Structure formats: structure tokens, C-alpha cells
Amino acid sequence: MSDMYFITSFLLALLLFPHTVGGKRKCGCNLTLNTIRNYYVDGDWIIGGIVTVNIDYDLFLTDFRVNAKFRGCTQLNVWNYQNVLAFVFAISEINKNPYLLPNITLGFHIVDNCLNEERAMLGIIDVLCGGNMRIPNYRCLHSHHLVAVVDGISTRLTLMLARILGIYKIPQDCIEETLVRSLRFLNSKRLPLKLFDLSWLSLQGKLFVRENVKYLLLVYFGSDVILIFSSNISYSSVGHKLSDKIQFPSFYQTVPSNVFQYLAIIKLIKYFSWTWVGIFVSDDEFGLPISQLLQRELTQNDICVAFIEFLIKGQMKADYRMKVSKSINSTNVIILYCDRDYVVTLQDILFQVPVSGKVWIISSQWDVLIGNDHYFKGLEPFNGSLAFTPHKGAMPGFKEFISSIKPDLYPKDIFMFTAWLELFECAYNKTIGFGTDTCTGKEINQYEGFSEEITYHSYSIYNAVYALAQALHVTQLEKRRQDSDGHFFRPWESNKYLKDNSFINGGGETISFDQNGEIPSKFDILNWVIKPNHNLHSIKVGGYDQLNSFQSLTINESLIRWSPAFNQTPFSSCSETCLRGYRKTPKVGYPACCYDCIPCPDGEITNQTDMKFCIKCPQTQWHNEKKEKCINKHITYLSYKEALGTSMASISVFLFFFTCLVMAVFIKYQNTPIVKANNRNLSYILLFSLKMCFLCTLIFIGHPIKLTCMLRQTMFAIVFSISLSSILAKTVTVVIVFHATRPGSKLKNCMGSKMSVSFVLFCSFVQVVICACWLGISPPFPQYNMEDEVGKIIAECNEESTVGFYCVLGYLLILASLSFIIAFLARDLPDTFNEAKLITFSMLKFCSVWISFIPAYVSTKGKNVVAVEIFAILASSMALLGCIFIPKCYIILLKPECNTRNCVKRIEHNIIIHH
């Protein structure tokens, strides 16, 4: 029991030791620490600010061979200093507002993190401790009522600070062993709750104590030190991890979310139809997830990634420079998504390996501002680039506030004195300056546009401070309604008034946080233009608004000034655009955006560029010459308006009249021996049928209709059957004539003209019956044939019954064959009045024509089928006319001396002797 009492007393003395020493000295520990620039103004409640004013940038990697030391951190950025002024301006406005936090004066504690992780860590400990003596887990100023922290600029720094400031939701009066066990359980889930491992402040064993340092609660358990703190609002950082409310439940952002910046970048790329882009990200814990997310989103939107390059801070080896240069030259559009300190490495590479004629899409993480070329040299490669920045609104009175500032009005503002000393080389009486001139206080306005151009960082800080003030105000009102002291509250209580809540800032704009502690995403799209003096100038050319569902992305292309290497909107694709009429086909072994362009097949089109599939035209349409649209198919048929149809019709008419002339000759010389000797009645019938044969071809020409389709084959078949029947009758008559001259022949009774005509009528009647059956059962009809001829509709007659058609042709072939056989057998009869040889020759030509017709008819398509049939009719009819009647006309007209009775008797005598 005495041992337990001794241990308890010893621990109590150890805990009271810092307070005992603190009575004599300001803090209980005396550590050798580096100086951190800060700006502190006391108040009832203190809002901390971790900002970047000066820049301590080191390109070189630590090799751990020498002791790492701070650099000077003296490179003042006057535009970053505007962020400090925005912070002070917002606090000043809130303190003057009688309706916001009445009877409460806000103070602030602003620390310069120099864009350096170590300085940021020391800075946040400064803010937590309330003094320059940075002792973890100890409060140096008893009046330091810290309620919230504002930080930003770098995602990496903010993530580090958020891990420290993120655990807020454990009630202050419920700290017990089960709580520590639950925190240990959370640590086992890989959450960043184990913050420090300080053996010189830890207690051993199962004992733990708690020390309430105003509103900062520290819990010790073994070597675990757990910090339960208040809200943390960032005005710049938009890391994707920071949206995780399990790790960072008290983290809020007054800049848009990364997720919607990804969407905005993709919409911008799709707007300009860029499909081949590269990605540069930082080689840190953010780079890999960002690259993976970007690549996934780009791929889902049919945008291919040419390369993903991880920028290594300070890496300047020759092989690395060439690798980066090769990647840049592989595409025209590059996404740059990393903090600005990594971009310096890229700029140095571009300075040594010049690259131009690229479109850089720059995320809001790289906040190079107008006139900031003092730190970022060599911006020429980024001329014509497009940069995303959070949207900024109005800050009424801020411009006047900037114009009125003087170092003597703000004696605690160390940054202001530094600005005058380093930038203007002038000094106030209260400072020891190296300038010979005396400051007037107006020097800040010498920076062009400084008081006119408000950066989005300043606007975001302004909103962050107002958000905290509004939440504190509501928390205070709630405390008063509960009849408690509004001055005393636990800072984590204000979180519930920040979540899913909205407020109106000093400019009258409504700002709201969603359940993830983020404001609605709204970006401005800037076009970076390098002036002749090598300074950067940005022009707003568009924007992105998450809440605008109708048109979230707006672009004014007329305002964009591309790189001088482009004379029009840049093109970025792995392959050339496939024009209309072509489709894309993937290249084997290449990304999906790399393809070849092949023409669409016949009957298919593409009416847009870069189409993956061709569109098949409807059956009644066909593609145009370029295969970019479907047009109605041309209806084709053998027309009188075309050369072929006109020539066929002219030949038919000419032969008709020529046959009429032959018939006229026969009629005129009907009493001459040669006409009488060849059965003139059959000759008249044959000539008439031949005239009809020539005329019936005209039915085949023109647009087919039902009547013409029915008359085409039937009229031709009947007329031709008359012609062939007449020839067969003439052949039979010749044979009978010469056999009837023999004594005792009974064939004299068959030599009458009536018998010949009856024979012709009978043979023709058989063809009429065949045609009647054809028309009665399956008559021909007109149709549109869309298959036989590519790109055309053939107006044709469908014979319907192939059997009927070939029966007609078969019957004609029978008549022709009989005529040929009989004429061939009678070929030895005398020539002068014997037609057997002429008929034999005509039938030989006739059969040759129609035998050739069948394969030609079957193989020919379209209107040429009709032309082939017309040609066969004309050719066969001309064969009959030319072989049978032209020789007789020759004798009648040119050899009249042979057309006498004495010649006929002489021929008969020779025939009798011969037989």
C-alpha cells in the first residue's frame, strides 16, 4: 500500500513539475528550436492559420550524410502575403459585425509554413502550445483559447496537419480505459490516430492521466499520446484522401473537391475531342491513386492515356530528363496534376530539354499566380495552357483594406515589415532596414494589380474564416439557449453546425458544406498566356459548375490563345480522325485509341467521324459516293431516254419499215414467176409476222407495268410461232411440190394454199394455248428487284412461272428444229426456186441466236436482261428476213432477167431430169 502511495505521489509531482517551473519561466522546458515566423493577435477565441508566405524550396534530396538544416525561408511571395491580409480582413470584419459573435472578439495566430513539412509541423505545435516554445502536449499561454485552425496551399502539408487535428468526436468527460482500448482498436484498422511516440513524456504501466489544456485535450496511456482537438478548415488543399470522414472527421474544405475536378478535366478534354493525353503526377502518396483514378475515368470516357509519368522531386539525371522529354513529345495534350513544388522539377527539365507546342491542362494544385515568375522561371512551355482554379467571388472592402495598409498600423505583422524590407528596399523608423529610402506605406500598390486582382486563395481563406465564425456563432447561441455560459464550450461541438450547413459570407454569397465537409465544386478555367516580357497572364475562358446540371462546362473558344505552334484548335489523337465513310478498327498491340481507318462496306455508311461501326442503309436506299449518307436508290430500267433504249427502239422501227418495204416489193411483183413459185400467201404471212416481231420489242422498253409484263413474252411467243409455222409450212410445201411431180404421186392434193394456211393456224394455236395457260395460272407481273444490281432498284417483269416461260421457248425451238431438219433434207433440190437452202441457213442462225440467248439471259442482271432479249428477237427476226427474202428481192430488183417463165421452165426441166 505504501508502495502504491509512493508511486502516485511521484507521478503527481512529475505532472506538476512543468507548472512549478512555469511560475519562474514562461515555459517548463527549454529546447533549442528554430524560429518560426508568426503573427499573433489575442482575443477571446483564437483561430489558428497555417499559411505559406515565404518559400523555402529545396530541390535536392536528403542523403542523410550531413545534418539537415533549415534554409533561409526568405523568398517572399507578395501574392501569398495577400492570403495573410485576407485572413486579417475577415477577422476584422467579423469583429466589427454586431450580429455575428456579439461580445466576442476573435483573435488569430498565423504561422508561415514556408511550404515545408518540418516548418508546418513546428508551426502547428506553435499554434497548439500558444507560444514560441514548442513543447508537444503542453500549453504555454494560459489565455490561449484556440478553437480552430485554417491551413492550406499544399495537399501534402494539409494531410499531415489534418492527421494531428482530426480526432475530435470523443466526449471530453468520458476518458477512461475503455476509451483508450477503442482508440487502440481504431489504430489496428490502420487509421492515423497514433500521433507521437515520446518516451520522455510517457508513463509506464496501466496508469493513464488526462490534462485539460483549455480546449485541447491530451490523453496519455503508455506510450500512446492521443490528441482530441477542434475543427480544421483548409482553404486550398483538395487531396482525395482528405474527403475520408473516418480519418478526418473535422476536416472541411473551402475549395472544390478533387472528384469534380477530375470530371471537369474530362469534360474539357471531351469538349475539344482530345483522345490521346499524357499525365504527370507527383511521386508521393498522392500520385499513384490520382493517376489510377484519372486513368480509369479517362478510359471510361474513351480517352486513352499516352503515358503516366511520376515527377520525382529534384531528380535531374540525364536519362530521367530524356525519359520525361520522350513522354511529352508523344502527345499534344498533357494533364499536370501535382503540387507546385514538384512542378519546379518539370520546369527545370523543360528548361534543359526545350519542348513547345503542347497544351497543358493544369490542376488547381499548382497555384502559380500572375507575376509569380520570381520563383517559377521558364514558363514559356506552358504558353497557351488551360488551368483550373477554384471560383472566386467578391470580397467587398478588401481592395480598400489593401490600399490602406501600412506597417506602422500593424506593428505585430512581421510579414508586412518583411514585404517592405525585401521587396521595396525601404525602411520605417521602427525597423532596421538596408534601404536608404524611407517607406511611404503605399509601396504595396506598386505591384501591378495587387489591390485589384484577388487570388482565389484569398477568397477561400475569407470563406474559411467566415465559416468558422458562423459555426461558433450558432454554437454560442445554442449554449445560451441551454442556460450555460456561451463563452465556455468544447470546440468540437461546432462541427455539427458546419456539416450540411450553409452560411452567407461578407460578400453575400451562400457557402455550404456537404456531409464530406466540402463545398459545391465550381471552377474557373484560365488560359495562360506568356507576355513579351515573359510574365504570366491568365484569361478566364470558361468555367465548371457542379450545380448546373444543364451545362456544367462552359467554354468561350474565341478567348483562348493557344501556343504559337498551333494555328487552330490543337488536335490530339493516337491516330488521325476517321472521316465519314470510314470506320475505326483497332490496331493490334496498341491502346484502344490507336486504330486504323477502313472504308465502310457497300451499302453501309458512317455519318460522323471516328465511328466504330458502319450503319447499314435501308433496303430502298444506298450510300452516296463518299459513303457518308444514305440516298434513295436509283430505279433503273431500259428507258427510251437512254442511249441503249433509244438505239434498240430505232433499230426495231427501222427493221419494221424495212420489212414493210420488202412486203411492198413482193406485192408489187406478186405475179412474177419467183414470187408465185415460193407460195406468196405464206410469204405475206411470214412478212407480216416479222413486222410484228420487230414491233413487239418496243413493249420491252420503258417502265414495266402489269399490262406490258403480260404482253411482252406472250406477244413475242405468238408472233414468233406464226413466223416459224410459216417457215415450216413453206419448207413442207417445197418438199411436196417436187415430190408431187412424180407420176402417180398422191401429194398433189396437199399442194393447195388453204392447206398451208391451216397448217400455220394450227401451229400458232398451240402456242396461243400455252400462253393462255401461262397467263391464267401464273401471269407475269412488275416488281422492284433490289438484290441483283448493287445500289440500284431494277424495275422488271417477274415471269412468275419459269415453266411457262421455258415451255414457250421450247415450243419455238421445236418449230425451228423441224423447219431446220426438213429444210436440211431438201437442200439438194434446185436452188433457183427452192427455198430449202435459204431456210436451212436462216434456221441455223435462228437456233444459234436463241441457244446463245439462254446462258446470256440467265447470267445477265438488271436492265441488260431486257436488252439481251430484245437483241435476240431482233437478231433472229433479221436472220429470217435476210436469209429468206433478201435474195429474192435481189433477183426481183437487180436480176429481173432471171425472174421469167422460160427460166422457170428450164429449171423445172432440170429438176425432172435430175430426179
pLDDT digits (tens, 9 = 90+) for 241-280: 555 554 555 556 666 777 788 889 999 999 998 989 999 9
Q: Residue 232 — φ and ψ, nearest 5°?
A: -130, 120
User: What is the pLDDT, as a whole number, of residue 827?
Assistant: 67
Residue 352, phi-psi category: left (phi > 0), alpha (psi -120 to 50), beta (remainder): alpha
Rounded average pLDDT over 539-546:
90
Q: List, in order, residues 6 or more apart from 591 with CB less than 8 Å away.
A: 304, 305, 574
Residue 73, phi-psi category: left (phi > 0), alpha (psi -120 to 50), beta (remainder): left
User: What is the pLDDT, as a whole number, of residue 48?
Assistant: 83
Specify the higher pLDDT residue, 108 or 748.
108
Handedness of CA 453, 457, 459, 461 (dihedral sign): negative
Contact criterion met (CB below 8 Å) for 111 and 485: no
- Report all structural domains of the chain as residue ranges with CATH numbers, in order of start: 31-168+229-253+411-498 (3.40.50.2300), 258-390+519-559 (3.40.50.2300), 582-632 (no CATH), 643-658+669-881 (1.20.1070.10)
Helix or strand holding residue 239 (H, E): none
User: What is the pLDDT, as a whole number, of residue 176?
Assistant: 28
Would the pTM of this model clear 0.75, i.e. be above it?
no
Rounded average pLDDT over 632-649:
90
**Cα gap 803→508, rounded to integer Å:** 93
**Cα gap 268→259, rounded to integer Å:** 14
CA separation, residue 404 to residues 238, 630, 761, 824, 840 (Å): 33, 71, 126, 130, 126
Q: List, in order, residues 6 or more apart from 751 with CB less than 8 Å away.
A: 733, 736, 737, 740
Per-residue exposure over 646-679, b if at least 16 CB sit within 10 Å of its own CB, e if not: eebbebbeebbebbeebbebbeebeebbbbebbb
**Cα gap 733→839, rounded to integer Å:** 12
**Cα gap 337→332, rounded to integer Å:** 16
Task: Compute the 3-state secondary structure of the chain and give helix, strand, coil in percent, each to the nearest 5.
Answer: 45, 15, 40
Q: List, in order, residues 6 or more apart from 697 with CB less than 8 Å away.
A: 648, 649, 652, 716, 870, 873, 874
Q: Exposed, middle or buried: residue 576 (CB in 10 Å: 0-12, 13-18, 19+)?
A: exposed
User: What is the pLDDT, as a whole number, of residue 619?
Assistant: 87
Confidence of residue 70 (pLDDT cuts 50, 70, 90): low
Place of cell 428450164: 906
Q: Exposed, middle or buried: residue 644 (CB in 10 Å: 0-12, 13-18, 19+)?
A: middle
Average pLDDT, the chain: 75
Whether 734 shows a pLDDT value over 80: the answer reads no
165's grid cell: 487535428
Taking Cα atoms as reference points, which of 133, 369, 360, 120 lies closest to residue 234?
120
Taking Cα atoms as reference points, which of 591, 40, 697 lies closest to residue 331?
591
Specify the higher pLDDT residue, 327 or 439.
327
Taking Cα atoms as reference points, which of 424, 386, 379, 428 lies closest to residue 406?
428
Whether 152 shows a pLDDT value over 80: the answer reads no
Taking Cα atoms as reference points, which of 133, 338, 344, 348 lies closest to residue 239?
338
Q: What is the pLDDT of residues 366-375, one digit of tens each?
A: 654 444 444 4
User: What is the pLDDT, as a whole number, of residue 785?
Assistant: 87
User: What is the pLDDT, as a whole number, of residue 752?
Assistant: 57
Q: Do the bridges between strand 333-337 and strand 359-362 make them parallel or antiparallel, or are there none, so unpaired? A: parallel
User: What is the pLDDT, as a whole number, of residue 347?
Assistant: 80
* DSSP, residue by residue, 272-303: TT--EEEEEEESSTTHHHHHHHHHHHHHHTT-
Specify the higher pLDDT residue, 823 or 28.
823
Contact criterion met (CB below 8 Å) for 437 and 426: yes
Q: Longest C-alpha distance within the chain, in Å?
A: 177
**Cα gap 762→759, rounded to integer Å:** 5
Most confident of 55-69, 124-138, 431-445, 469-483: 469-483
**Cα gap 755→135, rounded to integer Å:** 143
Confidence of residue 90 (pLDDT cuts 50, 70, 90): very high
**Cα gap 283→320, rounded to integer Å:** 13
**High-pLDDT (> 90) share of the chain, %:** 16
Q: Looking at this protein, which amino acid is placed at residue 38?
A: N
Q: What is the pLDDT of residues 210-252, one digit of tens each?
A: 333 333 333 333 333 333 333 445 444 444 555 555 455 555 6
Q: Is 316 helix (H, G, I), strand (E, B) or coil?
A: coil
Contact criterion met (CB below 8 Å) for 547 and 502: no
**Cα gap 227→165, rounded to integer Å:** 8
Rounded average pLDDT over 885-896:
84
Q: Is 643 helix (H, G, I), strand (E, B) or coil?
A: helix
Place of cell 499524357: 278
DSSP state for residue 746 in the 8-state scheme: G
User: What is the pLDDT, as a whole number, of residue 660?
Assistant: 94
Rounded average pLDDT over 118-122:
75
Torsion of CA 240, 243, 249, 253, to 10 degrees: 100
Whether 377 shows a pLDDT value over 70: the answer reads no
Q: Is 55 helix (H, G, I), strand (E, B) or coil?
A: strand
Contact criterion met (CB below 8 Å) for 764 and 721: yes
User: What is the pLDDT, as a whole number, of residue 451?
Assistant: 64
Taking Cα atoms as reference points, which of 278, 266, 327, 329 lies closest to residue 302?
266
Rounded average pLDDT over 538-557:
87
Q: How many CB atoms lie within 10 A of CB 898?
A: 15
CA separation, residue 711 to residues 659, 671, 768, 811 (Å): 22, 37, 12, 18
Q: Looking at this protein, which amino acid is placed at residue 2?
A: S
**Cα gap 116→118, rounded to integer Å:** 6
User: What is the pLDDT, as a whole number, of residue 583?
Assistant: 93
Contact criterion met (CB below 8 Å) for 396 and 507: yes
Rg value, the chain, Cα: 53
User: What is the pLDDT, as a whole number, of residue 212?
Assistant: 34
Any idea how long the chain is? Answer: 915
Place of cell 417463165: 901
User: What is the pLDDT, as a whole number, of residue 72?
Assistant: 59
Q: What is the pLDDT of residues 4-48, one digit of tens each?
A: 544 444 444 444 444 444 444 444 455 555 667 788 888 888 888
Confidence of residue 186 (pLDDT cuts 50, 70, 90): very low
Taking Cα atoms as reference points, which of 830, 261, 829 lies closest to residue 525?
261
**Cα gap 884→810, rounded to integer Å:** 23
Q: What is the pLDDT of residues 552-587, one digit of tens each?
A: 899 999 999 998 888 888 988 888 888 999 999 988
Confidence of residue 699 (pLDDT cuts 50, 70, 90): very high
Most confident of 354-368, 436-450, 898-912: 354-368
Q: Is 911 helix (H, G, I), strand (E, B) or coil?
A: helix
Q: Looking at this protein, which amino acid is placed at residue 628?
A: E
Place of cell 425432172: 912
Q: Do the bridges between strand 216-221 and strand 208-213 make them parallel or antiparallel, or are there none, so unpaired? A: antiparallel
Q: How many CB atoms lie within 10 A of CB 464?
A: 30
> Where is average pLDDT lowest: 209-213, 393-397, 681-685, 811-815?
209-213
User: What is the pLDDT, as a whole number, of residue 448?
Assistant: 60
Angle at 389 between CA 386 and CA 395, to 5 degrees: 140
User: What is the pLDDT, as a whole number, of residue 179?
Assistant: 29
* DSSP, residue by residue, 573-627: -SSPPPPTTEEEEEPTTS-TT-EEEEEPPTTEE--STT-SSPEEPPTTEEE-TTS
Contact criterion met (CB below 8 Å) for 22 and 99: no
End-to-end CA distance of the chain: 168
753-777 vs 680-696: helix axis angle to the nearest 10?
20
Rounded average pLDDT over 392-421:
84
Q: How many CB atoms lie within 10 A of CB 845?
A: 16
Taking Cα atoms as reference points, which of 400, 349, 346, 351 lies closest to residue 368?
346
Confidence of residue 541 (pLDDT cuts 50, 70, 90): very high
**Cα gap 119→305, rounded to integer Å:** 37
**Cα gap 852→866, rounded to integer Å:** 15
User: What is the pLDDT, as a whole number, of residue 77?
Assistant: 73
**High-pLDDT (> 70) share of the chain, %:** 69
Handedness of CA 233, 151, 83, 374 (dihedral sign): negative
User: What is the pLDDT, as a whole number, of residue 12?
Assistant: 45
For residue 233, list its beta bridge partners. 150, 252
Q: What is the pLDDT of residues 644-692, one digit of tens each?
A: 999 999 999 999 999 999 999 989 888 888 787 767 888 899 999 999 9
Rounded average pLDDT over 482-511:
66
Specify the higher pLDDT residue, 762 or 137.
762
